[in-house]
Amino acid sequence: MSDFRFDCVFYYVSDLERAIAFYTSALGFWLSSRDAVARFLVDGVLVELVPTSDRQLLSGRGNARLAVAVDDLGVAIQGLRAKGLVVSEARQVSNGHLASLKDPDGNEVVLWQYAKHVGQRTPTL
């Protein structure tokens, strides 16, 4: 039997340059390499943007989400909206707060603030 190892998380994109600009400008990801795909190393996880002209692959309807942890969800939302991005309202869930936005191809990116321990700050919602 083969040994399986984690490789990456990837999203299909229609315009690689536009997608790179979104992930670097909006989310502050650092482009670690680029050839046929763009690669970002985010906290030890390889995130790839894979260009395609197949519109069916660009539906953005899949169940996978890229979740990005933030220290203060309210501040993150304000900063992204100041850049002209559409970000959902924050909502509370059992173990934190979350909001979401979409990249230019409709792939969802979730902003996540974990619930804090007693005495630590809560989001500025």
What is residue 21's predicted lDDT score, i.e. its pLDDT? 97
What is residue 54's predicted lDDT score, i.e. its pLDDT? 87
What is residue 3's predicted lDDT score, i.e. its pLDDT? 78
What is residue 51's predicted lDDT score, i.e. its pLDDT? 94
Edge-to-edge strands of the sheet including 38-42? 9-13, 45-51, 38-42, 31-34
What is residue 20's predicted lDDT score, i.e. its pLDDT? 98
Q: Which of 87, 82, 84 has the alpha carbon at shortest distance from 108?
A: 87
Q: Quick one: tokens of 104?
A: 């230019």
Domain boundaries, the chain: 9-53+64-114
What is residue 93's predicted lDDT score, i.e. its pLDDT? 86
Per-residue pLDDT of the chain (125 residues; tens, 9 = 90+): 667 678 888 999 999 999 999 999 999 999 999 999 999 999 999 999 999 998 888 866 666 788 899 999 999 999 999 999 999 999 998 889 999 999 999 999 999 998 874 444 555 55
Name the CATH superfamily, with its identifier, for domain 9-53+64-114: 2,3-Dihydroxybiphenyl 1,2-Dioxygenase, domain 1 (3.10.180.10)
What is residue 120's predicted lDDT score, i.e. its pLDDT? 46
In one-letter notation, the amino acid at residue 76 is A
Residue 60 CA, distance from chain mean position: 13
E strands in 23-123: 31-34, 38-42, 45-51, 66-69, 91-93, 96-102, 108-114
Question: What b/e sequence results for 71-103 when a residue is b if at least 16 CB atoms lie within 10 Å of its CB, and e otherwise?
Answer: ebbbebbeebeeeebebeebeeeeeebbbbbeb
CB atoms within 10 A of CB 118: 4
